[in-house]
Structures are given as C-alpha cells and as structure tokens.
A and B are shown apart, each in its own frame.
Chain A
C-alpha cells in the first residue's frame, strides 16, 4: 500500500452554490522512498492540494476526497486531535519563503524544540541535543551559536535549512516541499535540493517536491504530476514525461525551458495566464492557451484517460513525435496541427 493515497481530492472556496475549485479531483500516491514532483504554473493548485493533505485548509475552504489515506489511516474522518499527531510528525511540510516561515519572536532553538516537545516529549536536555544534531544534519555551520539566534539574524539559505531541520525533527515518513528553493539564490538552490534529496535517501522518506522548476524535477523526481488550474493534466514516470510529453501543456512547458530554445531568437512562452475564479473556460481549461485547441476543446471538458500507460487529460494526447492523435476531419479546424 502506498504511503499517501489521494483519490479525487477537491478543494473548494467561495459560496456553496457558486464554488471555486482550486483543486479539482486530483489523484496521486506517494510511496516510501519515492520522490513525486508536482509541477505547474502559479495558481495551478499545487500548494493548495498539499495544504489539504496537511489538513491546513481553513474555513471557508472545503476539502473533499474519495480517499485521503496515510499509511492506511483515513485522514478525512479522523478526529482533529489525532490528525494533529500525524501532522508535523509523520507528514511534514517545508514552505516557500523561509524568511517568513520562522516566527520572528522566537529563537531557532525554541522553534525546533517545540515540534519535538509536542510529538516526542523527552526532557529539555534531550531536545536540545537533538536540535543540535538536526542543525548539524542540515549543514548549519557553527550550530551551537545559531541555536539562540533569532530569524532576522539569518540569511535566506540559512533560514531554509532551519525550516528543513524543523520539518525533519520528528523523522517524518512523508515530506512535502512546497517550492523550497523559489525564494533563494541560484547558488543556494542546488545546495538545498541536494540536502533534501540526501535526507530523503538516508531515511527512506516519501518526498513530494512542488516546484515550477522543470529541470530540477527531471533530476530529482521518480514520478511527475503536471497540474493546471487545479486539475491533473498528466502524470507518469519522470524520464518518460521528459522524453515524450503526452499533454500539449507539458509539451509547452518543456519548450519554455531556456536550454530548449537554443537557436531561437526569443525564449518560447505560453501566451496568457492560468484562468482564475472568474475567467474559467467552459471547455478544456487549457483551450484558450493551447496551440492545438479546436471547437470540441472549447465546448467540452476532457477527462483523465489512460494513454500508453500514462494519465492524460486531453482529447488529443500527443504521440512520440509530439503531434496530437485522434484528430478527425470534422473536429479539425484550419488552425490546428
């Protein structure tokens, strides 16, 4: 059984009769020792879906799912108190901006020890030792003197290491890293990712890596999940997605990589933005931005289907040559292909 099993997770905001679906029937699973990469533009529901897994979606947000289980335990029906025992201990999360993730009023030591106190107990001395241990583990130079530092005295990279130390304090079995490097310098980014992957390997954790850095995900993840406007667009093994994207959106994302624009005057982009609450298209959510879209795409919404062993949400999944399949004469408009 997978460590985390998410089936048709939906997160809605707004009124009951006119809800906005930030996450729309997303399914995935993560195994022990596995790295799942979730990619997509800003506003595609990556963070919201993982917050739902953490149980951090507040009123007026509504979370529903056919299944949301961790290690066989149902997270949805579980009492709040029991769930908090899992949150922070077995499932931990790292957030985007390390500079705002630490409470400015408390020392590094206090913030790490707090997590230990809640979940593991022990006495103050043990917790302090463990904290020192953790700081060493995440590569903080001179950890002893950093213990009593306040967040404003730390650099961004240093703060992110502290945040990571805080997350792995109770030896979680699943770690969710929500764009852990977005707010950091490029030089620091690689270090932090290396650190995360090393920790993941050492303790055989499951890791969900949320990012919009495709290059990063291609190296780190076993499986990739492409999300768009709250929906799952494509998922499958990392290398095969990179070799042959099946969804036009994945293809466009990959083409936007700078290294794939060699020989072009300009970097390739995807025109337009992710639809928000008020401009959601009636048909396929990507239709206004998709280069292959036709009338059918504008009118009807595709479901996730299996295509060559991969989950794809598209009427016309791409073949190995990157061309849409299944287009027939009557659905084709002049513009496509």
Chain B
C-alpha cells in the first residue's frame, strides 16, 4: 500500500510541471498588458513603463521569467497580486474555505442523491421509476449552471421567499472567522440563528453546483449496478437466502461503486469549474470569483497561483480516490 502511494505521488510531479507550464504561457497569450491595465485610463509614459516592466521582471525573456516563477513556486512563493499587492497564497487561503465549503456540499449533494437514484433506477429497470430518474438526470446534466442557478433563485428566493438570494450569511451576524467554514464558524460563534442562516445561504448554490455531478453519478451508478446485478455472485448471494436489500446494498453496490468512485473523483474538477459560475451568480466570496476578477485585470500571479492550487487540489483528490479504490476493490490493492 505504501509503495502504491509513493508511485502515485511520483505520477503527480510531471503533471504538476505540466500545469505550471500551461498556466504560465497560456495566460501570456491572452491579449492585454498587465502594466497598462494597472495604469488604467490615464496611461503611463514610456520611461515609467520601462521602469515598471523591469520592476515586475517583464523585461526578461519569457523563459527566464518562467524559471524565476518556478523557483518561487518550489519555495512556496506564488508571488504577489498586481492589484492588491498581497501575497497570492494569503489571498487564496482566505477565500479557499468558502469554495471548499461550497464544493463539499455540492459533492455531498451529488453523492447522497445520485447513488440512491442510480440504484433505484437499476433495480426498477425499464419501469416508470427508471425512466423518471434517468430523464430527470439527463435534464439536470443538460442544464447550464448559470441558467439553472437563476431559475432556482427566481423560484425559491424571489417567488417563494424560502432562501436568501446571495452571500454566505445574513448581514445581521458578524463574527471573526476561525476555520473559514461558515457552517462551523457560525456554530462556534454561539450566536442564535447564525447556523441556520449560513445553512440556508448554502442550499441554492449547493443544488446549482451539485446537479450536474449528481446526474453523472446517478447514470454511472445505474449502468454499473445493472452490470453487477447480472453477475453470478449476485445469484450466489441470493441463493444463500439473503434478503434482497442486503444483496443489493452489500453485494452489488460495493462492486458497482468501483467505477462510480472514479467518476466522483473526476467530477471534482468539474465542480471547481462550476464553482466559478456558481460563485459569480450567488456572490459567493470564493476562489472562483477571485480568479475571474484576476483574469479581467490580467493579474498574472493571482491567475497562475489560483489555477495551480486548483490543479493541485484536483490531483490530490484523484490521488485520494485512487487510494479509496484500493480499499473498495481488493484486486487493485494487491496487484502490481
């Protein structure tokens, strides 16, 4: 198991290099000069421009700039934002919990509803319940996040007034962040109603963000489950006289989950991409919104740092998924 872990960690290194390369050069392909952007409408004279260029290292060849950047990254230095002049890593860490909170809720939502829907559809294959869940999930999958989110707001927030429209918590509550996770902080603050407020602010973004992964998970669970239900060992389990529920939930689901777990891991990438849209619509102060703003301002260090951290996160999650895989599937644990 330990050897497996190290091998997988070894796989991450080249991927990491690839991401730094992509992110560094792609952002420089986008038209727009960060120094001119900083100067704003008044512009800047040629002397000052050259000075600033030298100050930010833009006078160096791009390849030199890249290695300077890389050396910084390996020392844990992602640079400073052009806009706020604060270290990128600090800004990231401040905003990150909000995104993690949203993404975690999104994936939980997707798993909690997706897997049972998939199982239900599989065991009622061909009946109305199968058709219903599968057409719902196809609809969910086809729905653009920004549109779906707006529909949710219009119906639940505006018409019914059940949930707040945007933000993380009602302005009535204020407390110092401890963990950065609003659900936990609101509990720690001891203020009455704070948790309920934080939770109600999370509901719509969670649904908006979790719908696509849920649809993917439901469909994957269904097809994987159908395959497993046709296996001989399911018949053997039934021949033991086990209750149908046990056969499905223990014998079938465990095997069916193997491909589903992979899909869940892959959905984390989708989720973070979706978080950018969701955060923008719900004014959710997370890294998605932060990166979008940085892009508009050509804030190179922030974009590079943010995307690198997200890529790192996706890799880490997929590593965890691979390890989980081994726990669920003994054949992988022992091979190689």
Contacts from A to B (Cβ < 8 Å): 51, 54, 56, 84-89, 92-93, 95-97, 100-106, 114-115, 118-119, 150, 152-153, 163, 166-167
Flag if B329 contacts A114 (CB, 8 Å): no
Q: Which 4 A-B pairs have the closest CB atoms?
A: A88-B241, A88-B240, A100-B232, A87-B241
| Alpha-carbon separation in the docked complex, A88 to B238 (Å) | 8
Flag if A103 contacts B243 (CB, 8 Å): no
Flag if A150 contacts B331 (CB, 8 Å): yes
Q: Decide yes or no: A87 and B239 within 8 Å by CB, A100-B233, A101-B233, A105-B254 being known contacts.
A: yes
| Alpha-carbon separation in the docked complex, A163 to B239 (Å) | 11
Interface residue tally on B, bucketed by range = 20 to 34
Q: Which residues of A contact B334 (CB under 8 A)?
A: 150, 152-153
Flag if A85 contacts B241 (CB, 8 Å): yes
Among candidates B238, B242, B328, residue contacting A114 with C-beta atoms closer than 8 Å: B242
Closest to B231 in A: A100
Closest to B239 in A: A93
For the A-B complex, the count of residue pairs with Cβ-Cβ distances under 8 Å equals 71
List B residues 284-336 near A (Cβ within 8 Å): 328-331, 334
Q: Which residues of A contact B331 (CB under 8 A)?
A: 104, 150, 152
Flag if B328 contacts A105 (CB, 8 Å): yes
Q: B227 to nearest A CB, angstroms?
A: 13
Flag if A105 contacts B241 (CB, 8 Å): no
Flag if A102 contacts B239 (CB, 8 Å): no
Among candidates A86, A96, A152, residue contacting B241 with C-beta atoms closer than 8 Å: A86
Flag if B255 contacts A105 (CB, 8 Å): yes
Closest to A114 in B: B240
Known: A105-B328, A114-B240. 13 other contacts (CB 8 A): A56-B235, A84-B241, A84-B243, A93-B239, A95-B239, A100-B232, A103-B254, A104-B255, A104-B331, A105-B329, A119-B241, A150-B330, A150-B334
Flag if A95 contacts B240 (CB, 8 Å): no
Interface bits B263-281 vs A (CB < 8 Å: 1, else 0): 0000000000000000000
Q: Decide yes or no: A89 and B235 within 8 Å by CB, A103-B251, A152-B331 being known contacts.
A: no
Q: A47 to nearest B CB, angstroms?
A: 10
B237 touches A (CB below 8 Å):
yes
10 contacts between A and B (CB under 8 A): A84-B241, A84-B242, A89-B241, A95-B235, A97-B232, A100-B231, A103-B254, A104-B331, A105-B255, A167-B239
| Alpha-carbon separation in the docked complex, A100 to B255 (Å) | 13
| Alpha-carbon separation in the docked complex, A167 to B239 (Å) | 9
Q: A256 to nearest B CB, angstroms?
A: 28
B22 touches A (CB below 8 Å):
no
Q: B116 to nearest A CB, angstroms?
A: 20
Q: Which residues of A contact B240 (CB under 8 A)?
A: 87-88, 114-115, 118, 166
Flag if A163 contacts B236 (CB, 8 Å): yes
| Alpha-carbon separation in the docked complex, A96 to B239 (Å) | 13
Flag if B241 contacts A103 (CB, 8 Å): no
| Alpha-carbon separation in the docked complex, A67 to B310 (Å) | 66
| Alpha-carbon separation in the docked complex, A87 to B238 (Å) | 8
Flag if B236 contacts A101 (CB, 8 Å): yes
Q: Which residues of B contact A163 (CB under 8 A)?
A: 236
Q: Decide yes or no: A92 and B239 within 8 Å by CB, A101-B232, A105-B255 being known contacts.
A: yes
Closest to A88 in B: B241
Q: B313 to nearest A CB, angstroms?
A: 29
Among candidates A85, A88, A97, A153, residue contacting B239 with C-beta atoms closer than 8 Å: A88
Among candidates B237, B241, B242, B329, residue contacting A104 with C-beta atoms closer than 8 Å: B329
| Alpha-carbon separation in the docked complex, A115 to B255 (Å) | 19
| Alpha-carbon separation in the docked complex, A283 to B334 (Å) | 57
Closest to A89 in B: B241
Flag if B233 contacts A103 (CB, 8 Å): yes
| Alpha-carbon separation in the docked complex, A169 to B238 (Å) | 15
Q: Which residues of A contact B329 (CB under 8 A)?
A: 104-105
With most chain A CB atoms within 10 A of its CB, the pick from B233, B251, B328, B330 is B233
Q: B166 to nearest A CB, angstroms?
A: 44
